[in-house]
Structure 1
Amino acid sequence: MTALDLSSPVAVVGTGTMGQGIAQVALVAGHPVRLYDTVPGRAREAADAIGVRLDRLVEKERLTGAGRDAARARLTPAESLDGLAGCALVVEAVVERLDAKQELFRALEDVVGDDCLLATNTSSLSVTAIGGALRRPGRCVGLHFFNPAPLLPLVEVVSGFATDPASAARAHDTARAWGKTPVGCADTPGFVVNRVARPFYAEALAVHEDRGADPATIDAVLRESGGFRMGAFELTDLIGQDVNESVTHSVWQAFFQDVRFTPSLAQRRLVESGRLGRKSGRGWYDYREGAERPGPHTAEPADAPAYVVARGDLGPAGELLALIREAGIEVRAEDVRADGVRTEDADRGTRLVLPGGGRLALADGRAPAASRDTVHFDLALDYRAATRVALSAPPSAAPRTVAEATGLFQALGKKVSVIGDVPGMIVARTVARLVDLAVEAVAKGVATAEDVDTAMRLGVNYPVGPLEWSRRLGADWVRGVLGNLHECAPSGRYAPSPALTRHAYAADEQEGTSS
């Protein structure tokens, strides 16, 4: 292990919220910590603020009084950059501007020793470009903490083009010694989390822009069916609409305006109006005193059908058949072809047939309006645990079909949200795109599959990592959803990546070999 010795001083430059958090992490781990800020007196104020946080840790019995006193004794505000001489690691958390970070690191090279690591906490700039200003660019590494740094475990350890592997290893091991979970990644736009997570926000915004559902309903479906901790609209309100849009725009520009990362016009208008989320009192939701939080659209109670006819394999929704039987509803099997599909349904996939003759099918990315009397239901992380299921009812669906589909899921103990005619619905299209970007990131060497899944679980609290989701759903199913979405909207936004296609073929071959 090459972690820094606890006797080695660590410096933090920039004493905003993130800088203070990083300093607290290093301090509690046992290092002497020096704080510096270009604004006179700011470092002293930050040290006082960290002292208050240490007091709270003692109150919560997460730190002893002796530990707090020792930590305070190790914390030193620096009056100038010269006060950082002798540090083994300097972490910058200054303004997110390339010129400012390059200027800082050039100045630090004249102060610190040749073996001092220079780490940037940037979330959107190129580590390679920041290190390019140095005489010794091999010492520059990204240490991207997530806010609040003392609480969130993930740290992305980013290797720039010129970063020495030994520098990355030392940064990685030091973060682990600080009690964090580091993941290594290459210096690409958005690194791991901010690259792979874009569809979570983008698809929710797209459904809203297409008038498929309101924000409260989309958020409820993502939480209660998709298993996400928060919905996209409430999460961006928490992050700050301006911050979230800025990251999206930065990733989009860095990928040469790749259509898969295109920012949302609806979010742009929200930012322009000053509705930045919780910090401004209003965003997608109203946080002002006395304001009521809108609830999701929930269907009125409907009668459950007496039976359903199962045609073929429901794939990722296969567990529904057991739930339907447990609810006391008869499941009738129908003779099918050897491959599990009736000849007349071969071009429309598998589904349930309701007593009135209408059909109920898992969202597969095709436009519901293109189907006959068919209602689609959304993907769920776990249909047994899900408390809400979304249905998409196109104009072609008979009222009886919608009522029977609604009553069926209500009989399973689920709330039902009926949304508009939206291909891929909400969870299915979101998860499919998350999987695609994750598979592509691994294929391009951004990070290992294990690190991608770890980053998404710990960095943005996803219920499972995208690669694990791919294994559960089947890469071929994911590719099929995206292929159908691409046919509906052939802009390139939903085109399955070559990496996903290779991944699907490999999974098919492996399954064929094992069988």
Structure 2
Amino acid sequence: MSALDTSVVVAVIGAGAMGAGIAQVAAQAGHPVLLHDSRPGAASAAIEGLGVQLGKRVEKGKLDPAQREATLARLHAVQALDELADAGLVIEAIVENLDAKRELFARLEAICTADCVLASNTSSLSITRIAAGLARPERFVGVHFFNPAPVMALVEIVSGLATAPQVAASLYATARAWGKAPVHASSSPGFIVNRVARPFYAESLRLLQEGAAECATLDALMREAGGFRMGAFELTDLIGHDVNYAVTCSVFDAYYGDMRFQPSLIQAALVDAGRLGRKSGQGFYDYGPSAARPVVSELRSGLRIEACEVEGDLGIAQGLLARIEAHGIKVSRAPSRVEPAPTGRCGSGLDPRCGHAVIRVGDAVLALTDGRLASQRARDEGLHNLVLFDLALDYATAGRIGISWSADTTPAARDQAVALLQAAGLVVSPLADVPGLLVMRTVAMLANEAADAVLQGVATAADVDLAMRKGVNYPQGPLAWADAIGPTQVLAVLDNLQAAYGESRYRPSLLLRRTVAEGRALHD
């Protein structure tokens, strides 16, 4: 299906930041654009504001002056809905209220031609429900831009139950012609991004509530080990807790209270207190002029490490060995001496070899977390002085690593483990003995939710990963990341998390179980 011709008039309703941004995108792509807002003068003011913004880009050499003038010449403020009669595409960006949107589209259907495509930029409301009262619901589609629309690449093309496939295909092609990265999604709560992203916030919030570490340490680990641009507490402070909490509650309610999407009591308290983040001056962090810089917890050792022994295959953490050797530490290799768990199945019903690779340095035994508590794993496998380390996006370049240790680990053994990681150039941050640590459990849960979205036909695996990279700037798509870790290992982490907590929140997706059973990758 081809994109809309640039001669097609695009109308945008709602002249706030999102609506104005969408109008700019369409105008820069070459379409005549009509901008309408129910507030008198708001559309004209928005176009004036766009002129200022584009002027700044010209001053910085990022935009040709002629392009600025051409874009502004295509933007026209209109006072009445009747003036949108000639539009071929109308995109609504008004308040997130179902009744208001349904009333608007009913009026538009009476004004616009029968072949006009009506679209909503809603981020949370059902496209199917909005279109239910229309005479031509097949011409209605979701076109969800991300803020700021001129900058963010992702556009979710959301099909309701009645949306004609050719309409969705045309809007997909149009978004691509506008320089965006579109993905197809079915109309389900949260679409792709707002659904799959929930564990990113939820797991950090849960670990904070459990006293695993303070905000600054958890955020630092997500950035410097996980490769995310911001940690959960920094990001929610930026978004605004009123907004982020409302989205979580909306998704939780829409899925009939599924515990995977359970809101956080800590975040609810912030909202109740009016501590909404940067915009109120205080959230998880204090943004006042005299606020102290948050302190990140770190462990340091004065020991000198010259050698260590590796037993088994570290899999995704293999890059850590290369890093250790590159820093002049002798690494000897040996077969695993660790016996499987009493069940013979790694505590997860899976490959008995998984999770049994260890690094021995002095009295300490280091291993990549598999979702079990350090003390539980030490008992299961007969290990003493066990120190678990967390997942990293790239062990060769990570700046920081999180660790926890079993109850019987001596201070001397912990010091030896810290010294080894420190000698490899890593900053070491402590976590309480919690299942799955931080980065591993977060990535496993993101992959799990992504797998369920694919299983339920919300989107393809490729589109889910693209959406998470382009919509929220994840360093890697969660399904591709799970394939890199190994679906078997991800399933083991989730099974062990579920066993530790006894909650349905951590139940593995059937798609993940099927993938492991069939011996394939999630992207196959």
TM-score normalised by length of structure 2: 0.93
User: Aligned to 2:391, which of 363, 374, 379?
Assistant: 379
Q: After the TM superposition, which of the residue ranges 347-356 and 233-242 deviates more from structure 2?
A: 347-356
User: Do the aligned partners of residues 336 and 57 (structure 1) sit closer, same or farther apart at CA in structure 2, a change above 3 Å counting?
Assistant: closer
Q: Describe the SS at the equivalent of 2:332.
A: strand
> What is the correspondence of 1:343-422 to structure 2 with a 5 Å cutoff?
349-370=355-376, 371=378, 372-422=384-434
Q: Report the Cα offset of residue 302 of structure 1.
A: 3.3
Distance (whole Å) between structure 2 residues aligned to residue 286 and residue 394 of structure 1 = 34
Identity of aligned residues (%): 51
User: Aligned to 1:500, which of 512, 515, 518?
Assistant: 512
Distance (whole Å) between structure 1 residues aligned to residue 7 and residue 323 of structure 2 = 59
Distance (whole Å) between structure 1 residues aligned to residue 400 and residue 212 of structure 2 = 17
**Deviation string, structure 1 residues 29-76 (Cα, Å, up to 9, x no partner):** 111111111122222221221222222232233332222222222211
Contact 1:154 1:455 in 2 (8 A): yes
Q: Report the Cα offset of residue 214 of structure 1.
A: 0.7
Q: Report the Cα offset of residue 507 of structure 1.
A: 2.8
Contact 1:3 1:170 in 2 (8 A): yes
Task: Determine the structure 2 residue equivalent to 1:212.
Answer: 212
**Counterpart AA for 1:416:** V
Q: Report the Cα offset of residue 184 of structure 1.
A: 0.8
Task: Determine the structure 2 residue equivalent to 1:513.
Answer: none
Q: Report the Cα offset of residue 156 of structure 1.
A: 0.5
Distance (whole Å) between structure 1 residues aligned to residue 68 and residue 336 of structure 2 = 70
Q: Report the Cα offset of residue 287 of structure 1.
A: 1.6
Q: Report the Cα offset of residue 439 of structure 1.
A: 1.5
Q: Report the Cα offset of residue 464 of structure 1.
A: 0.9
Q: Report the Cα offset of residue 143 of structure 1.
A: 0.5
**Deviation string, structure 1 residues 253-278 (Cα, Å, up to 9, x no partner):** 11111111111111111111111111
Task: Determine the structure 1 residue equivalent to 2:270.
Answer: 270
User: Aligned to 2:438, which of 405, 413, 426?
Assistant: 426
Q: How many residues align?
A: 507
**Counterpart AA for 2:182:** P
User: Aligned to 2:456, which of 437, 444, 449?
Assistant: 444
Task: Determine the structure 2 residue equivalent to 1:238.
Answer: 238
**Does 1:313 pair with 2:325?**
no
Task: Determine the structure 2 residue equivalent to 1:260.
Answer: 260
Distance (whole Å) between structure 1 residues aligned to residue 20 and residue 158 of structure 2 = 21
Q: Describe the SS at the equivalent of 1:158.
A: strand
Runs (4+) of structure 1 exceeding 4 A deviation are 341-348
Q: Describe the SS at the equivalent of 1:319.
A: helix
Q: Describe the SS at the equivalent of 1:297.
A: coil
Q: Report the Cα offset of residue 178 of structure 1.
A: 0.9
Distance (whole Å) between structure 1 residues aligned to residue 82 and residue 295 of structure 2 = 56
Q: Report the Cα offset of residue 499 of structure 1.
A: 1.2
User: Do the aligned partners of residues 509 and 456 (structure 1) sit closer, same or farther apart at CA in structure 2, a change above 3 Å counting?
Assistant: closer
> What is the correspondence of 1:4-83 to structure 2 with a 5 Å cutoff?
4-83=4-83
Q: Report the Cα offset of residue 356 of structure 1.
A: 4.0
Contact 1:302 1:404 in 2 (8 A): no
Contact 2:436 2:493 in 1 (8 A): yes
Task: Determine the structure 1 residue equivalent to 2:122.
Answer: 122
Contact 1:394 1:420 in 2 (8 A): no
Contact 2:483 2:521 in 1 (8 A): no
> What is the correspondence of 1:38-187 to structure 2 with a 5 Å cutoff?
38-187=38-187
**Deviation string, structure 1 residues 199-254 (Cα, Å, up to 9, x no partner):** 11100101111000111100110111111111111111111111111111111111
**Counterpart AA for 1:378:** D
Distance (whole Å) between structure 2 residues aligned to residue 508 and residue 399 of structure 1 = 42
Q: After the TM superposition, which of the residue ranges 407-416 and 369-378 deviates more from structure 2?
A: 369-378
TM-score normalised by length of structure 1: 0.95
**Deviation string, structure 1 residues 306-358 (Cα, Å, up to 9, x no partner):** 43232222222122222222323233333447xxx546896584243544433
Contact 1:306 1:355 in 2 (8 A): no
**Counterpart AA for 1:6:** T
Q: After the TM superposition, which of the residue ranges 318-327 and 133-142 deviates more from structure 2?
A: 318-327
Contact 2:336 2:356 in 1 (8 A): no
Q: After the TM superposition, which of the residue ranges 467-476 and 40-49 deviates more from structure 2?
A: 40-49
Q: Describe the SS at the equivalent of 1:141.
A: strand
**Counterpart AA for 1:428:** M
Q: After the TM superposition, which of the residue ranges 42-51 and 102-111 deviates more from structure 2?
A: 42-51
**Counterpart AA for 1:369:** S
Q: After the TM superposition, which of the residue ranges 285-294 and 170-179 deviates more from structure 2?
A: 285-294
Q: Report the Cα offset of residue 295 of structure 1.
A: 2.8
Contact 2:300 2:422 in 1 (8 A): no
Contact 2:385 2:405 in 1 (8 A): no
Task: Determine the structure 1 residue equivalent to 2:352.
Answer: none
**Deviation string, structure 1 residues 414-451 (Cα, Å, up to 9, x no partner):** 10101111110000000001111112211221111111
Distance (whole Å) between structure 2 residues aligned to residue 59 and residue 296 of structure 1 = 40
Q: Describe the SS at the equivalent of 2:416.
A: helix
Q: Describe the SS at the equivalent of 1:23.
A: helix
> What is the correspondence of 1:469-480 to structure 2 with a 5 Å cutoff?
469-480=481-492
**Deviation string, structure 1 residues 458-515 (Cα, Å, up to 9, x no partner):** 11111111121122111010000000000000111111111110012223599xxxxx
Task: Determine the structure 1 residue equivalent to 2:381.
Answer: none
Distance (whole Å) between structure 2 residues aligned to residue 342 and residue 351 of structure 1 = 11
